[in-house]
Amino acid sequence: MPELLALDNVSAGYGESVVLDGVSFALQEGDSLALLGRNGVGKSTLLVTLMGLTQVHGGTIRWCDNNIARVPTYRRAHAGLGWVPQERFMFPSLTVEEHLTVVARPGPWNLARLYEVFPRLQERRANMGNQLSGGEQQMLAIARALITNPRLLLLDEPMEGLAPIIVQELMRVLQRLISHEGLSVIVVEQHARLALSLTRRAIVLDRGRIVHASSSQSLLDDAQTLDRLVAVA
């Protein structure tokens, strides 16, 4: 299968400071990757680097065989990179439905299909962005990325700050998207076991470098290594 995304020796950061140091990995269409590591090791920086929001100091980022290391963010989004940022960024003056319709692009993900996956969003379709619970905001953030019909979805800490029952609900949805719908994803998550149970492969970062790469299942099965690498609470 052709590679969707391939990073080769990527170094990137903010201005002169280098956060990612020689990062290389590849992802095929339909594949799913957990991106793990302790706080501050560069996980979010890797996602924003894929979106073109950092300074790339070296290396190549190939997307569908084109080097996009210098391509602006809006063109990456048009080329099929969908990003769900940690901050969610809801607009208080837009309804749920408007959040979705203003960014919709043609493809298999449309309003009807998203409402079927996220019935809560259909119930809240007329609510404003600031009238939603944290879980509803996260669902809307994911739906808003999906309705752009991305080829790869980047999820930055989707479970952060959510009540356990909402985490369960979101896990069921993500499981469906990844396992049954074959969505390609990279999931950054502090709750390492949740991310590993969703994905096929895993990489662990430490101080901007990849220190572990394996199947998600083998890391799940090796509690000692997992705890050493990510210090799971």
Ligand X SMILES: Nc1ncnc2c1ncn2[C@@H]1O[C@H](COP(=O)(O)OP(=O)(O)OP(=O)(O)O)[C@@H](O)[C@H]1O
Q: Are 84 and 159 in contact (CB under 8 A)?
A: no
- Alpha-carbon dihedral sign for residues 231, 167, 181, 217: positive
- Residue 84's nearest CA partner among 186, 231, 191 is 186
Q: How far is the CB of 105 from ligand X (least distance, A)?
A: 28
User: Is 44 a residue that touches ligand X (CB under 6 A)?
Assistant: yes
> Distance between CA atoms of 193 and 208, rounded to whole angstroms?
21
Interacting span for ligand X (CB under 6 A) from 37-45, 65-73, 141-149, 214-222 = 37-45
User: Is 43 a residue that touches ligand X (CB under 6 A)?
Assistant: yes
| 39 or 93: CB nearest ligand X | 39
User: Is 201 a residue that touches ligand X (CB under 6 A)?
Assistant: no
With contacts defined by CB under 6 A, how many residues of the chain interact with ligand X? Answer: 11
Contacts of 24 (CB under 8 A, 6+ apart): 7, 8, 9, 10, 59, 210
User: Is 202 a residue that touches ligand X (CB under 6 A)?
Assistant: no
Given candidates 2, 39, 65, 92, which one binds ligand X under the rule CB under 6 A?
A: 39
Q: Are 103 and 94 in contact (CB under 8 A)?
A: no
Site for ligand X in 177-196 (CB under 6 A): 190
User: Is 224 a residue that touches ligand X (CB under 6 A)?
Assistant: no
Given candidates 45, 138, 148, 199, which one binds ligand X under the rule CB under 6 A?
A: 45
Site for ligand X in 16-35 (CB under 6 A): 19
| 45 or 137: CB nearest ligand X | 45
> Distance between CA atoms of 225 and 94, rounded to whole angstroms?
45
> Distance between CA atoms of 24 and 15, rounded to whole angstroms?
21
Q: How far is the CB of 190 from ligand X (least distance, A)?
A: 6
Interacting span for ligand X (CB under 6 A) from 22-30, 40-48, 136-144, 215-223 = 40-48
Beta bridge partners, 7, equal: 25, 61
Helix (H) / strand (E) element for 137: namely helix 134-146
Q: Interface residues with ligand X (CB under 6 A)?
A: 14, 19, 37, 39-45, 190
